[in-house]
Structure 1
Amino acid sequence: MTSTMHSVASPAAADSSVLSGTGYKPPHRRRPRRRYGLTPLLLSAGVIVLFALFFLWPGILGLAYSFTSYRGFGPMTFIGLDNYTRLASDPTFYAALGRTFIYTAFSVPLGYALSLALAVALTNLRARGKTAARIIFFLPWLVSPIVTGVIWRWMFGENFGFVNFVITSLGGGAVPWSSDANLSLMVVILASSWAGAAFNMLLFIAAINNVPTSYYEAAQLDGANAWQRFVSITLPGIAPTSVLVVLLMTLGQMKEFAMIQALNNGGPGTANQLIVQYIYKTGFGQSDVGYASAASMVLLVILMIIALLQIAISRKANS
């Protein structure tokens, strides 16, 4: 048996010795090619093209315009930092930016509270008619911002509004919703919070459903009431979603334009003109594209700072 195996193995050994003596090396096995190496690139190519076309290129173009005196027509004359110098001493720019911060500071907490309250109500085990309620609560998200502004303008119109009609029918006096700057801003805050609550509600519903029910059962056995369970379990459990919602709402409110344009056009007068309206009217109304582009770049930097701060706070809280 041993001799047979030796006779079989000896030719291979002999061949190996002969080949080694000639310096011949057997070829290495080729690594298998990655069959799907281009698939991720092809699938993301559309997104990359759209991002470059509608975000990257306009951003580069706006940055270039901000260093010129371009007015939307004619030549682009390079003027350096003159537009930014004008912005630094423009009280109208600071007024619009300040009103934008005020609007954001009030609308974001209100929108957060409203969307979270709706989500908690719809995830309650004792709630009935959840499906119908979700559809009804989600309808505002399907409405265009312009339509939202028109609806709230009809409701809170000073001379023709439904709310004033009800108030006067009950014997009260008409409220100056449109001519009073503070009341006009309050209506805008309410309208934006109502319009944006639906989408954030869905995010909170998903986050609440991911919190383990065993936590609530254990807390209930320990005698914790509903408010204590909400504060000690629900809020910490949905903290990452809360950061995301606040970030998205902050960036969205800082860029609000269509709804307030349809609701009160930044009125009365320019009392509630936000920063995007200021940029729009400067660039298109006054044909000062270079100056409006500089204001847009300043707004971009502010939004980036806000996003980075919120991301840093989130990482610190989760570490």
Structure 2
Amino acid sequence: MSRTNTVDGLSAETSALVIKGRRARRVRRPGQRSTSFVLAPLSFIAVAVVLFALFFVWPGALGLWYSFTDYTGVGTPDFIGAENYVELAQDPDFYVVLGRTLLYTVLSVPLHFVAALGIAVLLTSTAAKGKAPARIIFFLPWLISPIVAGVIWKWLFGENFGMVNFLIELAGGTGLRWETDPTLALVLILIVSTWGGTAFNMLLFIAAIRNIPRSYLEAAQLDGAGGWQRFTRIVLPLLRPTSFMVVLLTTIGSMKEFAMVQALNGGGPGTSNMFIVQYIYRTGFERADVGYASAASMVLMVILIVIAIIQMRFDKRNDLA
């Protein structure tokens, strides 16, 4: 019998396709992997690990070492044990700036949360018009450097040359002391920080609101629930994971606020609005006491870790409940 190019009576073309498919479905031996499949993810992971170690682990370890020394920024640091931490525990100025930072955080987090959530709800509403340009306008502050934002708002709220006081006086009022009154200076810091930090949180809330099934809201509307009831009974509970993330990130960001305040009023008037990061900056660079400033930064790191753990435990307990 002569050999043919057919398989089970199939035509020559069909047989060729079947044979080609069989060859393509050959299974590799166990443990055999493509070199590129292994090297590609390892390369990406290696880059991330190197960058993390270079810009986070190494500076953190160096700061921890400096906190146990009398390093001044030049020369060789000498080990002095826990003297910096003992001095820090007895420093009343440290407690003052820490308390002021906590006060600012307590005031700043709700403002950021309400502003971001309110704008996100408006931009996802079916009744809103011009949502595309509105998103761009609200996101622009996030693209501006905190230092530039501080300078811009300083010009706007300057006591002698600011546009806000000019408009107030033009309307027959008296210009406000935005730079020399501690309370007004803190209010201005809250306004600027909320203006600059709302955009990112707004995007988080917009993404979360869009992921809520429309069927839930439509069913509640058919049952007679109003807009406020649908928001409080359906939208807010489903936004809880995003809300937790916004609160956590805003808390950490507020505790570390520096660049914008430094450009806006330098923590003034005087030191009435100096936060803990400015205290660390002035101690380390203006007083040339890097060891003491490193100890303060380590304490701040511990405080932030404790705050994050407490918030995570609280969120986990709510999930279990």
Q: What's the CA shift string for 1:256-303, capped at 9, x where partnerless? A: 110000000000001100000000000000000000000000000001
For residues 178 and 308 of structure 1, what CA distance do their matches in structure 2 show? 37
How far apart in 1 are the matches of 2:29 and 2:108?
A: 62
The letter for the 2-side match of 1:199 is: F
Q: Does 1:83 align with 2:84?
A: yes
1:137 counterpart letter in structure 2 = F
CA shift for structure 1 position 162: 1.1
Report how far residue 222 of structure 1 moved: 1.3
Counterpart in 2 of 1:208? Answer: 209
Report deviation, 1:180: 0.6
Report the Cα distance in structure 2 between the residues aligned to 1:249 and 1:297, rounded to whole angstroms.
Answer: 20
State the 1:30 CA deviation: 5.9
Measure the CA separation in 1 of the matches of 2:39 and 2:317.
37
Instruction: Report SS of the residue matched to 1:315.
Output: helix
Report how far residue 34 of structure 1 moved: 3.4
CA distance in 2, matches of 1:87, 1:274: 15
2:66 alignment counterpart: 65
Q: Where does residue 33 of structure 1 map in the other structure?
A: 32
Q: Which amino acid aligns with 1:32?
A: G
**Which amino acid in 1 is paired with 2:95?**
Y
Paired position in structure 2 for 1:285: 286
Q: Answer yes or no: is 1:312 the counterpart of 2:310.
A: no
Q: Which moved more, 1:167-176 or 1:291-300?
A: 167-176
Alignment partners' CA distance in 1, 2:125 and 2:53: 44
Whole-Å separation in 2 of the counterparts to 1:176 and 1:87 = 34
Q: Give the aligned residue type for 2:183.
A: N
State the 4+ residue runs in structure 1 displaced beyond 6 angstroms.
none
Q: Distance in 1 between matches of 2:124 and 2:193?
A: 24
1:5 match: none
Within a 5 Å distance, the mapping from 1:127-142 to structure 2 comes to 127-142=128-143
Q: Aligned partner of 2:117: which letter?
A: L
Q: For residue 194 of structure 1, what is the amino acid of its counterpart?
A: W
Give 1:188's aligned amino acid: I
Q: Which amino acid aligns with 1:297?
A: M
Q: Which amino acid aligns with 2:121?
A: V
Q: CA deviation at 1:39?
A: 3.2
Which amino acid letter does the alignment assign opposite residue 51 of structure 1?
F
2:164 is matched with: 163
1:74 aligns with 2:75: yes
Q: How does 1:202-241 map to 2 (within 5 A)?
A: 202-241=203-242
1:255-270 equivalence runs, <5 A: 255-270=256-271
Task: Mark the structure with the bigger radius of gyration.
Answer: 1
Q: Which residue is 1:49 aligned to?
A: 50
1: CA distance between counterparts of 2:106 and 2:59? 29
Aligned to 1:13: none
Question: What number of residue pairs does the alignment pair up?
Answer: 291
Structure 2 distance, partners of 1:43, 1:181, is 49
Q: Secondary structure at the match of 1:72?
A: coil
Q: Per the alignment, in what secondary structure is the counterpart of residue 235 of structure 2?
A: helix
Report the 3-state secondary structure (helix = DSSP H, G, I; strand = E; otherwise coil) of the residue aligned with 1:269. Answer: coil
Q: Deviations over 1:188-225 (max 9, x none)?
A: 01100110101110110000000111111111111111
Q: Secondary structure at the match of 1:224?
A: coil
- Please, which runs of 5 or more residues in structure 2 have no aligned partner? 1-27
The alignment's TM-score, normalised by the length of structure 1, stands at 0.89
Work out whether 1:246 is the aligned partner of 2:258: no
| 252-261 or 148-157, larger mean C-alpha shift | 148-157
SS, match of residue 54 in structure 1: helix
In the other structure, the counterpart of 1:16 is none
- Percent identity over the alignment? 60
Show the counterpart of 1:92: 93
Structure 1 unpaired stretches of 5+: 1-28
Residue 195 of structure 1 aligns to a residue whose secondary structure is helix
- Kindly provide the CA deviation profile for residues 223-259 of structure 1, in whole angstroms up to 9, marking residues without a partner as x: 1111111100110111100000111111111111100
User: What RMSD, in angstroms, separates the aligned Cα atoms of the two structures?
Assistant: 1.2
Task: Measure how far apart 1:164 and its partner are.
Answer: 0.7
Task: For residue 106 of structure 1, give the secondary structure of its aligned residue in structure 2.
Answer: helix
2:197 corresponds to 1:196: yes
